[in-house]
Amino acid sequence: MAEEASTGPRSAQPIEFSASLVKRVDGRRFEAQVFAKSDRIRLEYKYAIKTELGYSSIEILRLDKRESWFLLAQRRQILSAPVKLEEILPIQPTLPGEQSRMLIGDATTIGRPSKLYEVRVDYNGRNERFYEWVDVETGVVLKLVSQDRDWAIEYLRFRISPQPDYYFEEPTGYQRWAPKSGTQERG
């Protein structure tokens, strides 16, 4: 089993990009616009997701704070929840719980040159296998497909571009609300 040591971007600078995201889970399809900057991700969902306080169409993932913020526009509140690493969008190739990685070869996805890997992870105590397409230029995971369950994500219309800092900050006029139990339904 051949392993490749370096799968990261060519430059040491964190990549900033926007893209359309399609996520498929158990026959259901979720769509969002994604904005990414370093360790911050903003998801603007096509269809709002249900939280314990109502529906949210924007989620901001702050990995630096290990928090996920659901913006509740009607309440002008932020529902904060701990980030679960296994649930976040993989931007860098190394997956949570990764045990092994094998380079399958060169590939193209969404019109971009990629490296295709088979990755094995320990996901909540069980082994899972993924196919992972990593962009050659940026090192960003463009597509990830589970071989063991009905789960996949893929970026479409991937654009490398600077993202404004305010996309990833608490909006002016919003108040934080801390949940008693952190249960959100997430696609």
Choose between 91 and 78: higher pLDDT.
78
User: Is residue 151 in a domain?
Assistant: yes
pLDDT digits (tens, 9 = 90+) for 17-58: 999 999 999 999 999 999 999 889 999 999 888 888 889 999
User: Is residue 171 in a domain?
Assistant: yes
Q: Is the pLDDT of residue 143 over 50?
A: yes
User: Is residue 1 in a domain?
Assistant: no
Structural element, H or E, at residue 134: strand 126-135
Q: Report the number of distinct structural domains present in the chain.
A: 1
List all residues 6 or more positions away from 13 whose beta carbon is below 8 Å from its beta carbon: none
User: Is residue 56 in a domain?
Assistant: yes
Q: Provide the pLDDT confidence category of residue 4 given band limits of 50, 70 and 90.
A: very low
Q: Is the pLDDT of residue 68 over 70?
A: yes
Q: Is the pLDDT of residue 10 over 60?
A: no
Nearest Cα neighbor of 175 from 85, 86, 72 is 72
User: Is residue 11 in a domain?
Assistant: no
User: Is residue 4 in a domain?
Assistant: no
User: Is residue 35 in a domain?
Assistant: yes
Q: Provide the pLDDT confidence category of residue 85 given band limits of 50, 70 and 90.
A: low
Evaluate the CA torsion angle 59, 185, 182, 176 in order and state its sign.
Answer: positive
User: Is residue 26 in a domain?
Assistant: yes
Q: CATH number of the domain at 139, please.
A: 2.50.20.10
Q: What is the pTM of this model?
A: 0.81
Q: Is the pLDDT of residue 98 over 70?
A: yes
DSSP conformation letters of 12-74: SSPPEEEEEEEEEETTEEEEEEEEEETTEEEEEEEEEEEETTEEEEEEEEETTTTEEEEEETT
Q: Is the pLDDT of residue 7 over 80?
A: no
Q: Provide the pLDDT confidence category of residue 87 given band limits of 50, 70 and 90.
A: low
Residue span of the structural domain in which 130 resides: 16-177
What is the pLDDT, as a whole number, of residue 13? 61
